[in-house]
Amino acid sequence: MKSLYLASKNLGKIEEYKKLLVDVNCQLLLQPESIEVEENGVTFRENAKKKASEVSKMIGNYAIADDSGICIDALGGKPGIYSSRYADNDKKRIERVLTELYGVENRGAFFIANICVCCPNGDVILESEAKCFGNIIQKPRGKSGFGYDPIFEEQSSKLTFAEMNNDLKDLCSHRGKAVKKIIPQLLKIFD
């Protein structure tokens, strides 16, 4: 069985990938703690490519990475690529967004995920992008998920990501949609 390294140290993301890649015949491993990749790209795509490429080259194995975040209409697309760095932790990030949106009626937003898979020499072999549209609600709802999940209400279900069960979230989330696009190719690579 071939190994696939997830170029991330985000525990919430790691748990999602284990479920999303359950049908792929690979051993999903975490990026070693000793590897640091600076996310200094100006787009989600650049950051995903950089993380996957650097981790795959350093380890000499396949790597998958995503860069994802939330883009809020009333904030001109912020926090965008800075979603994970918008404040020190999830609670403070949520507080900052809710403070910045205080009194704002247009609370439209979307999550976006760019995914990249690199082969052991660092070359990109797969890429995917997907979005999930919704709104930022007034106060957090739900206990699941991570990041901005408690304040993002998905447009069709009217549930926050934090209120969804794993199957529903995987079906409609940005990351779930982006992974689904590359599953057929991953099944061939990790056959």
Q: Please identify every residue annotated as catalytic.
A: 67
> What type of residue sits at position 58?
M
Cα separations in angstroms, 160 against 29, 74, 149: 29, 19, 6
Spell 6-28 as b/e; 16+ CB within 10 A means b.
Answer: bbbebeebeebbeebbeebebeb
Q: CB atoms < 10 A from the CB of 106, how many?
A: 11
Closest C-alpha to 130, from 116, 146, 114: 114
Q: How many alpha carbons fall within 13 Å on the CB side of residue 138? A: 2
DSSP 150-167: GGEEETTT--BGGGS-HH
